[in-house]
Structure 1
Amino acid sequence: MVGLQAENLSVNDGPLTQANATLLRPSSPSLPLAELRARYEADGYLFLKQVLPREDVLSARESYFTSLESTGVLKPKTAPVEGIFDPAKSHLDYPGIGAGHVGGNGKPGGDRAAAFVDLALDAHYQDWYAEKFCRHPALYDFVARLTGWGDDTLNLRRTLLRNNIPGSKPIGVHYDQIFLRYGEPTSVTAWVPMGDIKINGGGLIYLEDGDTLGVELEQAFFKKAKDAGLSDEEAKSAFNTNMMSTGLLSEFPVGFAKEHGRRWLVSAYEAGDVVLHKPHMIHASTINNDPDNVIRLATDLRFCDSSKPYDKRWMNSYRFGDGV
């Protein structure tokens, strides 16, 4: 991990260094399916290199930042596809959707941020995103083959298209099944970087053996609830209310990893990369400390087996206050 110690790589409660972090394992989409499936089961994630055409990802990135250009978020005389934040502005006026309030989905920011936030939400409904990007055949076909779901593979319509301005609050520690509670834990999340992200640029980080821990945490809580005489539905409700109000396990990734004797898995990302992860895989994001003020843009796409029970709330497009 040459260079990690020197990187300005940090989360809410401190730096990530060689003492508490290591690198994600990359995988080529061309590896045999049996090997890719084994890695996904063993690691709880699959970090795929260049599974999407780079030009398609950058085209979507350009569309997004072109639509936000009128808000003044971009540095003057830079191209929208670069997504370079204007350092003369405050990141507080350009809040990211879902960052720091994963479960509540309230509208972030105040009146000063309203124009930016409204346009960031509107991007979810545009054809370049909702139809062309979210339903990209390269990703859909790969997931269908990897899972063996075939024609039963379903794109869940609700997605989270998130910008992360340099210096803004990162996403806390969580796993996705917390928000997919009304379905079986069989979904696959595809975290898709929409542009190149430096290792200190605010990308997603995964907890070492985090899927196993996520399952253990959930099972331990449900056992406690059942032992107390709660029904399955009451146990689910109690689990949700036991979470932080944001739906997070913790706001402090360094402390969380230390408590559980694990490291964080980190990486730089390139346009075209995708990370698939399991419903209980614990993850978070880093502070965007990009030295060139590049805005981190990424989306969460989810897939499920439509022949099994799944959370129907996720068939509605994202909106503020949807309670998911």
Structure 2
Amino acid sequence: MPHSTDVNGSFDPTKTKLFVNDGLLNPSEVSFLRPSEPGQPLEELRKRYHEDGYLFIKALIPRADVLQARSQYFDLLSPSGVLKPGTTAVEGIYDSEKDTALFPGIGSGAAGGNGHPGEHAARFVDLALKAHGEPWYADFCKHPKLLEFVAKFTGWAEHTLPFRRTLLRNNIPTTQAIGVHYDQIFLRYGEPTSVTAWVPMGDISLTGGGSELGQSFEKEFTDKAKASGMTEEEAKSAFNQNMMSTGLLSGGPAEFGRSHQRRWLVTNFDAGDVVLHSPYTIHASTVNHDPNNIIRLATDIRFVDSSRPWDKVSLNT
């Protein structure tokens, strides 16, 4: 996340090199997420969230529950041949002897002559999509520890509603990472008050391609557009025209951070950690260069206040 102020920790380039889609991040372009504990006073946590645009909560969900869901996911995907022989599902270790084109991420393509995934790649994608409808995954998305915390943190209580549609993604080592975006780009039919819980499903090292977070961007753009004489609708239209066709702000986090003079915030994630962020918080991912070829797995679970107008069109199907 591009960020203009220091947070806890410092980045040591002699130990870790972080790559994004458009190259290596310089040490001066990286800092660390500020960790919080679920037992801290709510007012303090809310203050951090509004100041930083995110809340990085350690050990919110029991580690065993997260690893069980990870194991069930890779059990489902194992017939595709993605896992290294002799390893367990919960490890999620990629078989690096195979071509990564056989295992495209959801929404990407693979070699197939006509631009569509080949038969093997299509099978992998089908299994990854099937995981969204599995009972164990539905239970995980409604984990009582997560729901209870979000309900208290937001103050929405019994009106706390998780979207039925979630984003469960794997990331094979060395493949393309997610570009620069923020969630409100895809949530245009309700109030901009949703909260996203980014949940790593397993341990993720610094080089394992964890999400990076950033500060608000659309408000700054909109304020400048209105100051120039544009109406709110004209400003929104102008903003949308400057985005990529995919809805991304940019495919290259390195150049984006440099052009806006902001740093990206990163960290190691442990199974059970959760990052809550606002719909205007900019985020992207580093490329997965885990030295042990561990596949990154994470899910986005979005919550809204059901007593207020919310986006029933885009993400409740």
- TM-score for both structures, normalised by structure 1: 0.88
Checking the alignment, whether the CA contact within 8 Å between 2:222 and 2:236 is kept in structure 1 is no
- C-alpha displacement at 1:220, in angstroms? 3.9
Residue matched to 1:260? 260
Counterpart-to-counterpart distance in 1, 2:117 and 2:124:
9
Checking the alignment, whether the CA contact within 8 Å between 2:189 and 2:314 is kept in structure 1 is no
Mapping 1:179-218, distance limit 5 Å = 179-207=186-214, 210-211=215-216, 213-218=217-222
Indicate which of 26, 41, 53 corresponds to 2:50: 41
**CA RMSD for the aligned pairs?**
2.0
- C-alpha displacement at 1:312, in angstroms? 0.5
Deviations 1:297-320 (A, max 9, x none): 000000011111111034534xxx
Residue matched to 1:120? 128
* 5+ residue gaps, structure 1: 101-106, 318-324
- Secondary structure, aligned partner of 1:192: strand
Checking the alignment, whether the CA contact within 8 Å between 1:98 and 1:160 is kept in structure 2 is no
Residue matched to 1:160? 167
- Secondary structure, aligned partner of 1:276: strand
Cα distance change of structure 1 residues 247 and 310 upon mapping to structure 2, 3 Å threshold: same
Residue matched to 1:307? 307
Counterpart-to-counterpart distance in 1, 2:116 and 2:38:
37
Checking the alignment, whether the CA contact within 8 Å between 1:21 and 1:264 is kept in structure 2 is yes
Indicate which of 94, 98, 101 corresponds to 1:89: 98
- Secondary structure, aligned partner of 1:312: coil
Counterpart-to-counterpart distance in 2, 1:281 and 1:214:
9
Counterpart-to-counterpart distance in 1, 2:74 and 2:256:
34
Counterpart-to-counterpart distance in 2, 1:245 and 1:221:
21
Identity, in percent, stands at 58
Checking the alignment, whether the CA contact within 8 Å between 1:199 and 1:268 is kept in structure 2 is yes
Are 1:274 and 2:274 matched, yes or no?
A: yes
Residue matched to 1:244? 244
Cα distance change of structure 1 residues 165 and 147 upon mapping to structure 2, 3 Å threshold: same
- C-alpha displacement at 1:96, in angstroms? 1.4
- Secondary structure, aligned partner of 1:143: helix
The code of the aligned residue for 1:61 comes to R
Counterpart-to-counterpart distance in 2, 1:221 and 1:64:
45
Cα distance change of structure 1 residues 192 and 4 upon mapping to structure 2, 3 Å threshold: farther
Residue matched to 2:5? none
* 5+ residue gaps, structure 2: 1-9, 110-114
Deviations 1:82-128 (A, max 9, x none): 0000011111211112579xxxxxx9734331100001000000000
Counterpart-to-counterpart distance in 2, 1:2 and 1:202:
15
The code of the aligned residue for 2:88 comes to A
Checking the alignment, whether the CA contact within 8 Å between 1:191 and 1:274 is kept in structure 2 is yes
Residue matched to 1:26? 35
- C-alpha displacement at 1:263, in angstroms? 0.5
Cα distance change of structure 1 residues 257 and 242 upon mapping to structure 2, 3 Å threshold: closer
Residue matched to 1:141? 148
Counterpart-to-counterpart distance in 2, 1:277 and 1:57:
20
Checking the alignment, whether the CA contact within 8 Å between 2:179 and 2:250 is kept in structure 1 is yes
Deviations 1:174-216 (A, max 9, x none): 1110000111110000000000000010100112xx12x3421
- TM-score for both structures, normalised by structure 2: 0.90
Aligned residues: 303
Moved more, 215-224 or 170-179: 215-224
